[in-house]
Amino acid sequence: MTGHERLWAELGLDVPLHNRLLESLGADFQAKVESRKNRPRGMAYFDRVIHAAHGDRVAELVKGRAEGRKIVGTFCIYVPEEICLALDLVPLPLCGGTDFSVPYAENIFPRDICPLVKSTLGLAFSKTCPYAPIKSLAVGETTCDAKKKTWEILSERVPFQVMEVPNKKNARTGALWLAEVREFLARMEEVAERTVSADRLKSAIRLMNRKRAALQEFARLRAAERPPISGLDALVVYQGMLNDEPLRFTENLERLNRELESRIAGKVSPFPAGVRRLMVSGCPAVMGNWKIHSIIESCGGAVVADETCTGSRYFENLVDESAGDVDGMVAALAERYLKVDCSCFTPNDERLRSVESMVDRHGIDGVVQYVLQFCHTYNIEAIRVEKTLKAKGIPQIKIETDYSREDSGQITTRIEAFLEKLGSA
Ligand code: SF4
Ligand code: SF4
């Protein structure tokens, strides 16, 4: 047994099945991402983040837990990470991006729910998620039906907190959300067995603002006339942002940003001049899921922007740092997180404005609306996104898919036709 295998066995994982999962993910990552040419040198760090997710990162978290640092599992970008960090808790997204685990969820759950939910549950049910046994508590939210009904079942098995994300944005729901964030703080203080101090909360807000600012800068660099990095590599960075230790991630991203600046100056790009510039918009593509970006870039397009939760939705808007006391900082956090423009909101005009502005900033030629199967809110909102894009004269295509490979050929044909329609520069 290797050191990691011993660790997984101690955590109660099904080691042979887990090895098969890692083989499948490793082969997919190698074929779709690592084998690409002309990648920035700084991507070596972010590749390691992906490889470490089930190994070294788990060992690091287990060591931290032994030193008293508890882990809080999350499933959505509405959970204010700053509060966890200020209490020395580790917020860790548990969303699954692999097809491998889906059948294990389908034994228990209906088949016709989104693959992200099924993949997440399947990892836990099949004993192949190393984070499930080490978390002290999980935090869900009321964003979509699949998730919120799932929480009822999970909360019977593990300590659970559900944050009520409202469906409208106004003064009344703003007050409701602030109360939810306050309740979240109180629950996290219980888990951490300490109360938050203003100094610790301020430092956590500054750290996350620095991380989000680095991600905004990264997005800005991707908008260069000759994109210095592929959309697949950018996706790897975005997937890492959800798993890695925040300060280490930020320092490495700041370094990568400097490398991208010099690549832009030297006109170094993984794409030929005149490549068609695409934006992926809609559902998240979490770790393990490189499908849509890989298809687009294999067909000769360049993904230069991601209007998703594994993209701009995570890093848009910083937290106002002016408050000096805990109450003021909690209010500033609630304000920032309520700006996230998930399709669970109605109406969701902020998202349409964001799509318009990203199309302009990134010089987008066409938009791929990425909808995970059975994600009704993004699927229906796609109609308004299409209308918004049409008014700007930007072509779009909607791809509704799951995590399987079965429809890859069909999607490839549709993306090829879409790129042909966009023509050459
Ligand atoms: S799509 Fe909505 S529910 Fe899903 S992670 Fe994003 S914000 Fe959360
Ligand atoms: S992709 Fe859609 S259906 Fe799936 S968890 Fe996110 S919001 Fe829910």
The predicted structure's pLDDT at residue 394: 98
Token pair belonging to 11: 């955590």
Distance 211 CA to ligand 2 centre (A): 25
Which residues are bridge partners to 179 per DSSP?
none
Q: Ligand 2, closest atom to CA 113?
A: 3
Averaged pLDDT, 227-244:
98
Averaged pLDDT, 324-329:
97
Distance 336 CA to ligand 1 centre (A): 15
Ordered domains of the chain (ranges, CATH): 3-29+40-199 (3.40.50.11890)
Pocket test for ligand 2, best of 75, 79, 145, 147 (most atoms within 8 A of CB): 147
Pocket test for ligand 1, best of 148, 306, 309, 378 (most atoms within 8 A of CB): 309
- How far is it, in rounded angstroms, from Cα 56 to Cα 65? 14
Q: Ligand 2, closest atom to CA 343?
A: 7
Quote the pTM value: 0.97
- How far is it, in rounded angstroms, from Cα 71 to Cα 391? 46
Query: Whose CA is closest to atom 4 on ligand 1?
Result: 76
Q: What is the DSSP string of 235-286?
A: HHHHHHHTTS-HHHHHHHHHHHHHHHHHHHHTT--SS-TTPPEEEEEES---
Q: Is 357 helix (H, G, I), strand (E, B) or coil?
A: helix
Q: Is 89 helix (H, G, I), strand (E, B) or coil?
A: coil
| 118 contacts: CB under 8 Å, gap ≥ 6 | 96, 101, 102, 105, 106, 109, 111
Query: 68-108 pLDDT, tens per residue?
Result: 999 999 999 999 999 999 999 999 999 999 999 999 999 99
Query: 337-355 pLDDT, tens per residue?
Result: 999 999 999 999 999 999 9
Averaged pLDDT, 174-185:
98
Query: 298-315 pLDDT, tens per residue?
Result: 999 999 999 999 999 999
Asked if residue 79 has its Cβ within 6 Å of ligand 1, the reply is no
Distance 309 CA to ligand 1 centre (A): 6
Distance 340 CA to ligand 2 centre (A): 15
Cβ atoms of 123 and 103 within 8 Å: the answer is: no
1 confidence band (pLDDT: 50, 70, 90): confident
Q: How far is CA 9 from CA 96, 125, 175, in A?
A: 21, 16, 46
Query: 110-146 pLDDT, tens per residue?
Result: 999 999 999 999 999 999 999 999 999 999 999 999 9
